Structure 1
Amino acid sequence: MTSTLDPAGAPDFPMPRAARCPFDPPPAARELQDETPLARVRLWDGSTPWLVTRYAEQRALMADPRVSADVTRPGYPVQAPMPPGGTGISFILMDDPEHGRLRRMVTGAFTVKRTETLRPAVQRIVDEQIDAMLAGPNPVDLVRAFALPVPSLVICELLGVPYSDHDFFQENSQALVRRSTDPEERHAAHRALIGYLDELMGTKLAHRDDALLSGLADRVEAGELTRAEAAQMGVLLLIAGHETTANMIALGTLALLRDPEQLAQLRDSGDDPAAVASAVEELLRYLTITHSGRRRVALEDIEIAGRTIRAGEGLIMANDVANRDASVFPDPDRLDLARNSRRHVAFGFGVHQCLGQPLARLELQVVYSTLYRRIPTLALAADVEDIPFKHDGSVYGVYELPVTW
């Protein structure tokens, strides 16, 4: 047990996944979970924050006001070198009251009720992309032909961003979410996106439409937001709105193609909204693509699970590991689309849980209930061993997914 508590013996984090189990969390992280709910790990900069491995402790800490999401606080366990001038991705790395003030400005666009009104538009986008894919070459890369365009088109329509610019924002978004990106390249990508959204905000200030960015322009004009804050918020919504869902579409499809029984179950239940919704929750739990953990820092000493987390010590909530906690999800390493997985922490927990989760759920429900029904012979066109996984990204997925039908 000494190595799990003593910073001197802390293992490196992130930890590698097992090559034969690309959907499972790293074996070393699961071993730590079996041993203890909190263990020391070592990051790229030599710091040794606590890795929180179990579900109950993660939920408790993510809801604890003594735990901060402010990336600028000493001891915060950053994933990579910070770009000059900060992250520029708005409120998710802030604490209340500023976090709440900024988040409330866009919450209305992502309520369950508001999001549900987008279902026909999302269905249209999904069907059009499937039509285009079927009319094109076979085999094809599902990431480029379907998984990336669908959420990109949805978030562009919601925000009021020209989809014609998708190559630009997708390329720069991916540079920001790759852990292996050179610091100078990361800064350049960050600067490019901020400049792009600032210019777009200028357009919205001059010419309003009914999209979300125009709503932020109203806030700027009213003095509730600065133009820089609005641009940063736009970057956050644009990146989060397409990057995570695109990875869930592709990785979820790969997991299902590797499990024909579960795929058939989902295809056969495509007309049952409740069954599809349940399947989405299980895939979110099983895959948990935010695999680098949610980062926090303690503001005060906190006693939990027989340990003392000292003020100023970093915390990493390993959500992918917590979603495999057998005390909450029996037989957790099995994909079971009939399982009730709604309690998962794939979207986090507490005041910082993912703002866009209703939209992500809706998009995945439409995709998973449509793609395999319309292309029932969908199959892999490459060996799993040859598929490039995003081991170097803060969001897990695949860079390519060759498929045929």
Structure 2
Amino acid sequence: MTQTSTWQQILDHSHRADPYPLYAELRKAPVIRLEDGSYVVSTYREIVALLHDPRLSSDLRNLPEYDADAPAQGSEEGPAGLLTPTVIDIDPPEHDRVRRLLTWNFGPPHAPGRIDSMMPDLFGIVTSEIDDFASEDDVAGKDRSGPTRVDIVDDFAYPFPVTVICHLLGVPRDDEPRFQAMSDAVIKSADPSTGGITERQRRRAKARADLARYFAELLDARHGQLGDDLLSGLLVGDGPEAPMPYEQVLSNAALLLVAGHETTVNLITNGMLTLLRHPQVLDRLRRGDEPDLAARVVEELLRYEPPVHFLANSRNALDDVEVGGTTILKGSPVILVLASGSRDPDFVPDPDRFDPDREHNEHLGFGGGIHYCFGAPLARPETQIALTELAHRLKNPRLVADPPPYRTSPSLRGPRHLLVDIDGVTPAPP
């Protein structure tokens, strides 16, 4: 089997439930060149080196095949301002300025109270969703005559982070059906199995323009009345270099809306699936006598079953770059397979074992370099709270099907549904 055919199998949905043996095959050559001229990098040290290499650009406008007219053609109304590149699509020094503005209004270190103040709400949302798993009699501690079947995705892992990101951005929760369709379009445009780079570029531009237009309508409807949400902070911010230009607010709000819930849905769902497959760890979490266990479980999940498996064509070489014994040619797209790197046995001992007691747990679950995941300070407590409360309150949870059905995307990988039978729900603590 060639590495190129291995990559094609990774993209094939039939291997979505367990791509890790294919990643092991892929790692036999740290860097491979695909027929379309792009390069796939799959080993830990090489990925880390490239994440920190300024010769790799995140700005797709540097690609030789970049179509400058694609955004305009992909947008129905198309003011160019709605298509301002997001913080993950630009390079320094512009990237650094935009990221500083976002960070200043998002959380630590400049606004530490924003995330901390959300903790009671996170607990409240999780408690309410788990209560809804069962009838009032179940919540009161009475037993039902048979098991209750819940879908961890639709009934819990999806509505929880959606509610959180809507609150953070000041987006009406009732708008979820509308923005979810646009979010799905953004995710599909990043799937390398759905067409060439130029075609995906057009679809991505259209999907992001639609989301930016949604935020423009949302802000217009406020009639200048701003609140204490992140969008308002960006528009009137008092930090250095503030406020952020209106067009950049729209584009980055679209990015945050998609990234703020899609990845966390997968992390929570992958986490619950992994705990059910490792009942001894689930029991430890349920007992609650290890205060730091939830944090260690989430860090190991980010290594072992991450929500983002690879960065597809989000980097391109500004010059010839030698890595892993291969020269990546100038102008070539580069795919970094983060999930493969986090299970690289040349860097991680016993990488295919789920071990929350692992020491020195370095992983690529949030990427690295200047584009390290902006939402990590929120995703971590969201997942810790979600998994801890599920462990504490679900009575005798067991999988209905293993493996469960998986989403289409090979890069944002997670179950589409996770059906679990439970014997009820224990009461929430007062």
Q: TM-score range by the shorter chain?
A: 0.7 to 0.9
Q: Which runs of 5+ in 1 are unaligned?
A: none
Cα distance between partner residues in 1 of 2:255 and 2:94? 16
Q: CA deviation at 1:259?
A: 2.2
Q: CA deviation at 1:352?
A: 0.7
Q: Does 1:15 align with 2:7?
A: no
Cα distance between partner residues in 2 of 1:278 and 1:130? 23
Q: CA deviation at 1:193?
A: 1.7
Cα distance between partner residues in 2 of 1:49 and 1:189? 24
Cα distance between partner residues in 2 of 1:354 and 1:14? 28
Instruction: Answer with 209-218 or 127-136: which moved more.
Output: 127-136
Q: CA deviation at 1:134?
A: 2.5
Contact 2:85–2:248 (8 Å) recurs in 1 = no
Which structure is higher in RCO with an 8 Å CA cutoff and minimum separation 6? 2
> Deviations 1:158-185 (Å, cap 9, x if unpaired)?
1111111122222321232123779787
Question: What one-letter code is carried by the residue in structure 2 that aligns with 1:228?
Answer: E
- Give 1:232's aligned residue: 251
**C-alpha distance 276-75 of structure 1, shift in aligned 2 (>3 A):** farther
Q: Which runs of 5+ in 2 are unaligned?
A: 137-146, 423-430
Question: What one-letter code is carried by the residue in structure 2 that aligns with 1:195?
Answer: R
Cα distance between partner residues in 2 of 1:186 and 1:38? 26
> Deviations 1:220-276 (Å, cap 9, x if unpaired)?
9x98433222111111111111111011111221122122222223323x3534221
Q: CA deviation at 1:157?
A: 1.2
Q: Does 1:339 align with 2:352?
A: no
Q: Does 1:32 align with 2:22?
A: no
Q: Does 1:102 align with 2:98?
A: yes
Q: Does 1:59 align with 2:41?
A: no
Q: CA deviation at 1:41?
A: 2.7
Instruction: Answer with 321-330 or 10-19: which moved more.
Output: 10-19
Cα distance between partner residues in 2 of 1:303 and 1:350? 18
- Give 1:48's aligned residue: 37
Instruction: Answer with 121-130 or 253-262: which moved more.
Output: 253-262
Contact 2:74–2:203 (8 Å) recurs in 1 = no
Question: What one-letter code is carried by the residue in structure 2 that aligns with 1:125?
Answer: I
Cα distance between partner residues in 2 of 1:97 and 1:261? 48
> Deviations 1:178-203 (Å, cap 9, x if unpaired)?
23779787666444322211112224
- Give 1:133's aligned residue: 133
Q: Does 1:362 align with 2:381?
A: yes
**1:112-123 counterparts in 2 under 5 A?**
113-114=112-113, 115-123=115-123
Question: What one-letter code is carried by the residue in structure 2 that aligns with 1:38?
Answer: V
Which of 394, 397, 414 is the equivalent residue of 1:375? 394
Cα distance between partner residues in 1 of 2:100 and 2:295? 26
Cα distance between partner residues in 1 of 2:15 and 2:319? 41
- Give 1:398's aligned residue: 415
Cα distance between partner residues in 1 of 2:325 and 2:116? 44
Give the 3-state SS of the residue equivalent to 1:139 in structure 2: strand
**C-alpha distance 199-342 of structure 1, shift in aligned 2 (>3 A):** farther
- Give 2:303's aligned residue: 285
Give the 3-state SS of the residue equivalent to 2:213 in structure 1: helix
Question: What one-letter code is carried by the residue in structure 2 that aligns with 1:61?
Answer: L
**1:144-293 counterparts in 2 under 5 A?**
144-178=154-188, 179=191, 189-204=207-222, 206-218=224-236, 224-268=243-287, 270-293=288-311
**C-alpha distance 172-353 of structure 1, shift in aligned 2 (>3 A):** same
Give the 3-state SS of the residue equivalent to 2:367 in structure 1: coil
- Give 2:405's aligned residue: 388
Instruction: Answer with 203-212 or 153-162: which moved more.
Output: 203-212
Give the 3-state SS of the residue equivalent to 1:59 in structure 2: helix
**C-alpha distance 17-77 of structure 1, shift in aligned 2 (>3 A):** farther
Query: How many percent of aligned residue pairs carry the same amino acid?
Result: 35
**C-alpha distance 205-342 of structure 1, shift in aligned 2 (>3 A):** farther
Give the 3-state SS of the residue equivalent to 2:315 in structure 1: strand
Contact 1:75–1:297 (8 Å) recurs in 2 = no
Cα distance between partner residues in 2 of 1:24 and 1:283? 16
Question: What one-letter code is carried by the residue in structure 1 that aligns with 2:33?
Answer: R
Which of 304, 324, 347 is the equivalent residue of 1:328? 347
TM-score (norm 2): 0.81
Q: CA deviation at 1:344?
A: 0.4
Cα distance between partner residues in 2 of 1:164 and 1:217? 23
Cα distance between partner residues in 2 of 1:56 and 1:186? 30
Which of 351, 362, 365 is the equivalent residue of 2:370? 351
Cα distance between partner residues in 2 of 1:311 and 1:393? 26
Query: How many residues in Structure 1 have an aligned counterpart in Structure 2?
Result: 388
**C-alpha distance 10-315 of structure 1, shift in aligned 2 (>3 A):** farther
Q: CA deviation at 1:303?
A: 2.7
Cα distance between partner residues in 2 of 1:154 and 1:171? 18
